Amino acid sequence: MPPSWVRDHLPKVVPQCLFQEREWQEWEFRRAAEMLQEGFPEAFAWLVDYAMNLRNPEVDEAVDDILE
């Protein structure tokens, strides 16, 4: 997939499909970040920002882990 397509469509899809259940947010963030980090840097940056706004301490810790 072209990185620009992923970047443009991720904000439309994520709020409808991911992070709906608080107990799964950290796991979903880690898996999505793993898929995006290498090949889709702009989409990855958007995902990190979105995840940080979830205000979930477990997700915040996952963000810190991934950004190290």
* Cα 28 versus chain centre, distance: 8
pLDDT band, very low/low/confident/very high, at 25 (cuts 50, 70, 90): very high
Q: What is the mean pLDDT of residues 32-43?
A: 96
- Dist CA 65 CA 8 (whole Å): 26
The pLDDT of residue 43 is 97
Report pLDDT for 41. Answer: 96
Average pLDDT value for the chain: 96
What's the pTM value of the predicted model, to 2 decimals?
0.93
- Compute the chain's Rg from CA coordinates: 11
Cα gap 49→52, rounded to integer Å: 5
Sorted by sequence, the CB contacts under 8 Å of residue 63 that are 6+ apart come out as: 29, 48, 51, 52
Banded pLDDT at 40 (limits 50, 70, 90): very high
Structure tokens at 57: 């301490």
